[in-house]
């Protein structure tokens, strides 16, 4: 598939690398992009497309993923892709026409409402992260159909493939991922709180949790206390299993991040746990627990920045002016995660019940109430 037709401004040497490319920004953050090909492939596998199917994509972006879907469902298939921004829609139509896929129907709308005209769909896929499952996605999906979406669980995202049952959705596969959030009427309650100028550090928190940006900003400027944990983890474990553990166990957990061009901006204020490239920009993030005037974060050595493979690297806890009890709390989470056998994120099971149906909750499950759905989260025995 000619990715260069969808990213005409990216050089030919770069466009076939396994990188996301941001194509539109607002307030210094990307709001549209061509996603990283590796995660696109994982999500298309999760979608399990068959020739002739009707598919709805929410988040048209450049149109590249829609072209891949069109290729997989073939000439008998039908695909509608929606984007919330008119300029993005116009460009996606041009790219799809240039690549010979003008049979893809590109529409400008808020994808939270699905596409009532085109429904029902055998498959629905989101390429922006969602905090909830909207009524339209549930109702517009055929029985036995699949919904694949990056689901945000306190700022840790999992790409979940759900199968539609009569009264609920049941996950069939889960994979680590990271996408920009859905905007519009169904945007989640997460807040991005800048701690200095637009290209400086920021935290992402859920809901109306009180937060004091100036105190946190001051805390990040002080020399932090770094403590070894004695624990080693692969980068993938730290970004996936451990981050999800902290998110589910601690309501004060948050994402501390910086998104900037590393050749221009010093990013060292944010301890390194997770790093990904988007064109020339890099996002460096860590998981943290917020205290009153400070925070406690996780870190790993920087030499391993690109090592997402097998090696287990030492993890440390970095304290930015937080109360000692918070450091203890982070230690206890790490110990509990280790005792639990570092549960794999792909062993996660999620059932999603629309609010007007009765949720089946087992004793070991964790329940997250959303506006439209109840998420029941448990784990397969490993």
Name the closest residue to ligand SAM (Cβ): 61
Residue closer to ligand SAM (CB basis): 43 or 260: 43
Closest separation in Å from C-beta 60 to ligand SAM:
6
Reading the block at residue 178, the tokens are: 């990271």
Please, are residues 271 and 229 in contact by the beta-carbon 8 Å criterion? no
Of 58, 54, 61, 55, the closest CA to residue 37 belongs to: 61
CA 190 – CA 313 distance, rounded (Å): 31
**Radius of gyration over alpha carbons of the chain, in Å?**
21
Residue closer to ligand SAM (CB basis): 34 or 53: 34
Give the sign of the dihedral formed by CA 105, CA 111, CA 117, CA 122. positive
Closest separation in Å from C-beta 57 to ligand SAM:
6
Q: Which stretch binds ligand SAM (CB under 6 A): 29-37, 140-148, 282-290, 359-367?
A: 29-37
CA distances (Å), 32 to each of 23, 92, 179, 246, 319, in order?
A: 6, 11, 10, 28, 34
Does residue 245 sit in helix, strand or coil?
helix
Q: Which of 74, 116, 184, 189 binds ligand SAM (CB under 6 A)?
A: 184
x/- map, 33-52, ligand SAM, by CB under 6 A: xxx-----------------
Query: Does residue number 131 form part of the binding site for ligand SAM (CB under 6 A)?
Result: no
Please, are residues 144 and 121 in contact by the beta-carbon 8 Å criterion? no
Closest separation in Å from C-beta 138 to ligand SAM:
16
Say if residue 276 is exposed, middle or buried (CB neighbours under 10 Å; 0-12, 13-18, 19+).
Answer: middle
Say if residue 20 is exposed, middle or buried (CB neighbours under 10 Å; 0-12, 13-18, 19+).
Answer: buried
Q: Which of 42, 44, 88, 269 binds ligand SAM (CB under 6 A)?
A: 88
Active site residue 32: yes
Please, are residues 116 and 136 in contact by the beta-carbon 8 Å criterion? yes
Q: How many residues does the chain have?
A: 382
Q: Which of 10, 46, 99, 110 binds ligand SAM (CB under 6 A)?
A: 110
CA 138 – CA 113 distance, rounded (Å): 10
Residue closer to ligand SAM (CB basis): 81 or 319: 81
Residue closer to ligand SAM (CB basis): 18 or 380: 18
Query: Does residue number 128 form part of the binding site for ligand SAM (CB under 6 A)?
Result: yes
Q: Which of 5, 29, 32, 138 binds ligand SAM (CB under 6 A)?
A: 32
Query: Does residue number 283 form part of the binding site for ligand SAM (CB under 6 A)?
Result: no
x/- map, 49-78, ligand SAM, by CB under 6 A: ---------xx-xx-xx-------------
Closest separation in Å from C-beta 20 to ligand SAM:
7
CA distances (Å), 294 to each of 134, 156, 195, 242, 302, in order?
A: 35, 21, 12, 21, 23
Residue closer to ligand SAM (CB basis): 82 or 147: 82
Reading the block at residue 179, the tokens are: 């996408």
Residue closer to ligand SAM (CB basis): 111 or 201: 111
Residue closer to ligand SAM (CB basis): 61 or 135: 61
Q: Please spell the DSSP secondary structure of 51-119, one letter per residue.
A: TT-EEEEE--TTSHHHHHHHHHH-TT-EEEEEES-HHHHHHHHHHHHHTT-TTSEEEES-GGG--TTT-
Query: Does residue number 111 form part of the binding site for ligand SAM (CB under 6 A)?
Result: yes
Q: Which of 44, 70, 84, 376 binds ligand SAM (CB under 6 A)?
A: 84
Q: Which stretch binds ligand SAM (CB under 6 A): 10-18, 32-40, 274-282, 284-292?
A: 32-40
Query: Does residue number 239 form part of the binding site for ligand SAM (CB under 6 A)?
Result: no
Which residues would be at the binding site for ligand SAM (CB under 6 A)?
31-35, 58-59, 61-62, 64-65, 82-85, 88, 110-112, 127-128, 179-180, 182-184
- Residues designated catalytic: 32
């Amino acid at each position: 598939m000619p990715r260069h037709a969808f990213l005409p401004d990216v050089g030919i040497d770069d466009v076939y690398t396994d990188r996301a490319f941001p194509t539109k920004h607002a307030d210094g953050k990307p709001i549209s992009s061509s996603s990283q090909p590796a995660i696109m492939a994982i999500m298309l596998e999760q979608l399990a497309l068959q020739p002739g199917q009707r598919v709805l994509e929410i988040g048209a972006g450049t149109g590249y993923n829609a072209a891949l879907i069109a290729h997989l469902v073939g000439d008998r298939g039908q695909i509608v892709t929606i984007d919330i921004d008119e300029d993005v829609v116009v460009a996606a139509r041009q790219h799809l026409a240039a690549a010979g896929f003008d049979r893809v129907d590109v529409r400008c709308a808020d994808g939270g409402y699905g596409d009532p005209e085109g429904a029902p769909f055998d498959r629905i896929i989101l390429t922006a992260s969602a905090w909830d499952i909207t009524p339209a996605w549930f109702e517009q999906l055929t029985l036995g159909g699949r919904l694949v979406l990056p689901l945000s669980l306190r700022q840790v995202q999992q790409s979940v493939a759900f199968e539609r049952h009569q009264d609920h959705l049941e996950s069939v596969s889960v994979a680590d991922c990271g996408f920009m959030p859905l905007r519009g009427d169904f945007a989640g309650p997460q807040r991005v709180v800048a701690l200095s100028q637009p290209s400086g550090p920021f935290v992402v928190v859920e809901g109306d949790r009180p937060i004091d940006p100036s105190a946190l900003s001051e805390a990040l400027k002080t020399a932090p206390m770094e403590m070894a944990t004695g624990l080693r983890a692969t980068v993938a474990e730290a970004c996936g299993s451990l981050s999800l553990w902290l998110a589910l166990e601690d309501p004060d957990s948050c994402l501390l991040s910086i998104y900037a061009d590393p050749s221009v901006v010093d990013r060292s204020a944010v301890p390194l746990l997770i790093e990904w490239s988007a064109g020339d920009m890099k996002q460096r993030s860590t998981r943290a627990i917020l205290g009153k005037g400070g925070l406690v974060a996780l870190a790993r050595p920087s030499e391993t920045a690109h090592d997402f493979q097998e090696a287990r690297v030492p993890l440390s806890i970095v304290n930015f002016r937080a109360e000692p009890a918070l450091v203890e709390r982070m230690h206890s989470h790490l110990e509990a995660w280790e005792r639990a056998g570092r549960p794999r994120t792909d062993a996660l099971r999620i059932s999603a019940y629309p609010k007007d149906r009765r949720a089946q909750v087992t004793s070991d499950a964790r329940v997250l109430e959303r506006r439209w759905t109840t998420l029941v989260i448990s784990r397969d025995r490993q």
